[in-house]
Structure 1
Amino acid sequence: MQDQERKQFVGNTRHAELRTDETKGQSSHPVDTHVGQQLRIRRIHSNLSQTELGHKVGLSYQQVQKYESGKNRISASMLYEIASGLNVPVGCFFDGLPQAGSAGVEGALIVEADERIAYLATAEGRRFVEEILRLSPKLRTRTIAVIRALAGDEDGADER
C-alpha cells in the first residue's frame, strides 16, 4: 500500500472507530450502549474512577466517558485492554444481551435488570443498600412498605 493510501485507510478506520451520535446523526447502537453500561458497572465495582481506568489502558477520562455512554464504539483490541485492566473476561461486557435474532419480552426484562444493576453500581445505590442492610428485618419490611407507598404501589402487587 502506498503512503497516501495507508494514511487514507488509517484516517477512515479512526473515523469509523470514533463515530459518535453527532457525526452519524442517529442514536448509538443498543449493543454499544449495553457494552458501555457493563463497562461502567465493572469499573465502579472495581472501585476505579474513569481517570484511573484511563491511565491503566492509555485513555483519557473523557474517552472512558464516551465508551460508557455508548457514544463511541469500543474496538475489539481496546475492549481486550479494558478487560485486562479491570481483570475481567472480555465476554462479561456482553452478559445479558439476548441471542442474535431473538427479541421480545425477554429483551425488555434485560434492560430493566441492567438499569437496576447500574443503579446499584453507583455510589448512591451502594449507600442505599448499605443503609437498608443496617436495619432489622422487621424495619426493612416496613421501609419497603413506605417506599411502595411513595411510589404509588401500596398493594404490593408488583412483588419482585
Structure 2
Amino acid sequence: MPRSPDFVDEAEGDEKGTRRPNPIDVHVGSRVRFRRMLLGMSQEKLGEKLGLTFQQIQKYEKGINRIGASRLFDLAQVLGVPVQFFYEEAPVGEPSQLVPDGFAEKPAEGSIVEFLRSRDGLELNKAFVRISDAKARRAIVDLVRSLANDETNDNSVG
C-alpha cells in the first residue's frame, strides 16, 4: 500500500507552497491532546516529562510536526496508554480521500467522539466519574436524556 506524503499540497501550482499536515498526523496529534487533557496535564508539563518545549507539543498536537516512532512510544508511556491508542478511529482510505477540505471543518452533528474531545466533554466526563453514588449518576443520565428528548420534540414541531 503506498504511503501518503508527509504534507499534502493545498492547491497545485500555489506559488507560496502552502501545505497542510497529513490527516493521519493530525489525528494522532489530536489523540495526544485528548489524552493529555483527560489527565488534566498542561502542554508545559507533558513537554517537561519528554524533554521538549510546550511549543513542540503544540506542533505535535496540531499535526504540524510528525511524531516519530520512538517519540510516540515515549508519549504512550507518559500518558499511560498503549501506542495503538493514538491510531484508534483514524481515517482510512486512499490518501486523496483523507485530505480534508479545510482546517476549520465542523465535526458531524452528534459526533460523540468529537464531543468527548471538547473541553466541555472532558469536564463533564471527569466530573461525572467522580460521582460515587450510582443512583445519582443514573438520575443525571435520565435528566440529560429527558432534556435531549425535549429539544428533539421542540425541533420537530413545525
TM range (shorter): 0.5 to 0.7
RMSD over aligned Cα atoms: 3.6
Letter in 2 for 1:126: L
Q: Could you tell me how far 1:76 is from its partner in structure 2?
A: 1.5
1:143 aligns with 2:147: yes
Q: Could you tell me how far 1:143 is from its partner in structure 2?
A: 1.9
1:7-56: CA deviations, max 9, x gaps? xxxxxxxxxx9xxx9x9621111001100111011111222111111111
1:74-96: CA deviations, max 9, x gaps? 11221111111112111110111
Give the counterpart of 1:64 among 49, 57, 62. Answer: 57
SS in 2 for 1:96: coil
Give the counterpart of 2:39 among 46, 56, 59. Answer: 46
Matches of 1:81 and 1:138, distance apart in 2: 40
User: Are the counterparts in 2 of residues 43 and 49 from structure 1 also a CA contact under 8 Å?
Assistant: yes
- 1:118 counterpart residue number: 117
The alignment covers a number of residue pairs equal to 125
Letter in 1 for 2:117: A
**Gap runs ≥5 in structure 1:** 1-16
- 1:7 counterpart residue number: none
Q: Which runs of 4+ in 1 moved over 3 A?
A: 98-104, 126-131, 133-139, 145-149
**Gap runs ≥5 in structure 2:** 1-5, 11-15, 98-106, 129-136
Matches of 1:57 and 1:143, distance apart in 2: 43
CA gap of 1:58–1:29, structure 2 versus 1, over 3 A, is: same
User: Are the counterparts in 2 of residues 145 and 154 from structure 1 also a CA contact under 8 Å?
Assistant: no
- Scaled by the length of structure 1, the TM-score of the pair is 0.60
**Higher Cα radius of gyration:** 1
Q: Could you tell me how far 1:144 is from its partner in structure 2?
A: 1.4
- 1:155 counterpart residue number: 156
Structure with greater proportional helix content: 1
Identity percentage over the alignment? 32
1:85 aligns with 2:78: yes
- Scaled by the length of structure 2, the TM-score of the pair is 0.61
CA gap of 1:71–1:148, structure 2 versus 1, over 3 A, is: farther
